[in-house]
Structure 1
Amino acid sequence: MKKQKSVENIFKTIFLIFGMFSIAFVIFISIFLIISGVPAITKIGFFKFMFGTKWASTAAKPSFGILPFILTSVYGTCGALLVSVPVGIFCAVYLAKMAPGPVAAAVREAVDLLAAIPSVVYGLFGMIIIVPSVRKLFNLPDGANLFSATVVLAIMVLPSIISESETALRAVPKEYEEGSLALGATYTETVFKVSLPAARSGVLTSVILGTGRAIGEAMAVMMVAGNVANMPGIFKSVRFLTTAVASEMSYSSGLQRQALFSIALVLFFFIIMINVVLRKLTSKGEVK
């Protein structure tokens, strides 16, 4: 017994150290972004930086307004979720509760493959297939716009939503469904009125994880959104927060470089807010 307890204490210490490393990395990144990003916001002015509508970092009289990037990221993420959340949840319900074994296995393999595809491949797919299709379908001079980026993001978000939602649905106790069926409910009613509400905590988690994936994507949207610092419009070439940093960091210097770090700080703040929302929603959605 003493040996067993000593081994358990050793493993507890190891896990504690690994956990402290994770916390240390988060603190280090936070301090780095604050130190790197706050000076530019102070020089430019908080309201000019956050609510300015013009970004011209290399002009003779530079402007550093990031409102177009913020709105583009919000619109693109929300648009992607409007498409991917219903599709992802229904697909998860089908895989977890209705699909025959071989069909479920094949679809699950396809979902896992979607999750493993690199971002640049999604970007290439968008450039070759989605952008020309959007241009022809809507008779536009250029198909690289917010709509194309939203479609690509919706496809990229799907694997996270499907996988996490399916896992949550499979974790619902069988007694819940058996009780519902015993009371006379049909199987479909049981799935949507009992199993899905019982799994809402995991489903909400999948949606928030998908939101983080969408708002943090850079390479794919850079290749299909046009990468122009315009105020967002569904068929306008736009630039996201992530692509603003990625597209200019390689040649930036001085205040321009500091402003890019400030954009990264704003993006980091958004990610923190998403995690806060995750905690609140999952805590409210837990089955007691």
Structure 2
Amino acid sequence: MKNKLYREKVIESLLYLSAVTAVIILFLICIFLFKDGIALFQEYPFLDFLAGTKWYPTSQPPQFGLLPLLFGSMIVTFGAIVFSVPLGIAVAIYISELAGEKEADLLKPLVEILAGIPSVVYGFFGLVVLVPMLQDILDLPTGQTALAGSIMLGIMALPTIISISEDAISSVPRAIKDGSLALGSTEWQTINKVIIPAALSGISAAVMLGIGRAIGETMTVLMVTGNTAVIPGFPDGLFAPVRTMTATVALEMGEVPQGSEHFYALFAIGSVLFITTLITNIIAEHIKRKYKFNLGAGQ
């Protein structure tokens, strides 16, 4: 009995140590990132960085305007959401409510496989297949556009949206579904008016996590968006080359002298990305907790 209690204490201690280690690592990353990011503003005005419309790091004097990169990231992410959210929720509804057992057992692993494909493979597929296709179909000067990035990011966000949405829909109590059908509702009316609203918090969390995946993606957008640091219009900016914040860091970090203004500007971009992703994940976690609470109360 004493040995069993001792082993349990050891396991609890190891788990606690793992949790503390993860928090410490995150804290150190924050210090490392923000320390160099804030260093930019000792010489470069904060408002010029935040509201600047030009990213010319090699000009004299250099210009580190965030807006072209921020709006580039926003338009690519917006396009990815428009593409992936309706499709992902539709697939989740089909797997959970309409597909047969064998069909659902086949589709679920295929969705999970999509999540395991490296981003560089998605980028290569987009560059070789999607970019020439968009250029020919839409008669564009180049197919490396925000639209290409949106479609590829939408495909990459699908596994997250489908998996979490499917779990949320499947977790709706069976009694609610049976009650709706017993009152004379059709299967589609039950899905549309009962199941979707009951699972809405979980679906919202899936969408937020999908957005987080799209915002933080680097390699795919680097390969298919054209990497032109200009403020895109809307909606015509979808059909023009753009540059995202992640792609800028990946492209330029290897070429800048350590300790230069340009070096610190890239860390400032990383800080903005970190804050954006953190806020997105916090919102998603809040929605998930609310979903679990509401589901527990309903049961």
Residue deviations 1:155-184, cap 9 Å, x none? Answer: 111111011111222222222222222333
Aligned to 1:169: 169
Q: Which residue of 1 aligns with 2:117?
A: 117
Instruction: For 1:74 and 1:30, locate their aligned partners in 2 and report how far apart those are by CA, in whole Å.
Output: 23
The question of whether the paired residues in 1 share the 8 Å contact of 2:54 and 2:64 is answered with: yes
The aligned counterpart of 1:281 is 287
1:268 aligns with 2:250: no
Task: Compute the displacement of 1:27 (Å).
Answer: 0.8
Shift of 1:197: 2.2
Other-structure match for 1:23 = 23
1:91-106 matches, within 5 Å, as 91-106=91-106
C-alpha deviations, 1:255-283, integer Å up to 9, x for none?
A: 11111011100100101211232234334
Q: What is the deviation of 1:109?
A: 2.9
Q: Which residue of 2 aligns with 1:133?
A: 133
Match of 2:61 in 1: 61
State the distance in 1 between where 2:285 and 2:132 align: 40
Distance in 2 of aligned mates of 1:71 and 1:193: 36
Whole-angstrom CA distance in 2 between matches of 1:69 and 1:102: 45
Gaps of 5+ in 2: none
Which position in structure 1 is the counterpart of 2:50?
A: 50
Contact 2:89 2:165 in 1 (8 A): yes
8 Å Cα contact 2:165/2:202 also seen in 1: yes
Number of residue equivalences:
288
The aligned residue for residue 241 of structure 1 is: 245
Residues 206, 284 of structure 2: 8 Å contact kept: no
Question: Which residue of structure 1 aligns with residue 189 of structure 2?
Answer: 189
Contact 2:202/2:287 (CA < 8 Å) preserved in 1? Answer: no
RMSD: 1.7
Query: Matches of 2:116 and 2:5 in 1, distance apart?
Result: 40
Q: TM-score under structure 1 normalisation?
A: 0.94
Could you tell me which runs of 5 or more consecutive residues in structure 1 were left unpaired when the two chains were aligned. none
Describe the shift of the 1:138–1:101 C-alpha distance in structure 2 as closer, same or farther (beyond 3 A): same
Partner Cα separation in structure 1 for residue 22 and residue 173 of structure 2 = 33
Query: Is the alpha carbon distance of 1:179 and 1:2 closer, same or farther for their aligned partners in structure 2, counting shifts above 3 Å?
Result: farther
CA distance in 1, matches of 2:159, 2:189: 25
Shift, 1:195, TM fit: 2.3
Report the secondary structure of 1:111's partner residue: helix
In structure 2, the residue corresponding to 1:234 is in which secondary structure?
helix
Residues 1:195 and 1:14: Cα distance change in structure 2 (over 3 Å): farther
Corresponding position of 1:38: 38
Instruction: Give yes or no for contact 1:230–1:236 (8 Å, CA) kept in 2.
Output: no
Q: Partners of 1:5 and 1:97 in 2: how far apart?
A: 45
Matches of 2:202 and 2:17 in 1, distance apart?
28
TM-score of the aligned structures, taking structure 2 as reference length: 0.90
CA distance in 2 between counterparts of 1:182 and 1:107 reads 29
Q: Identity percentage over the alignment?
A: 39
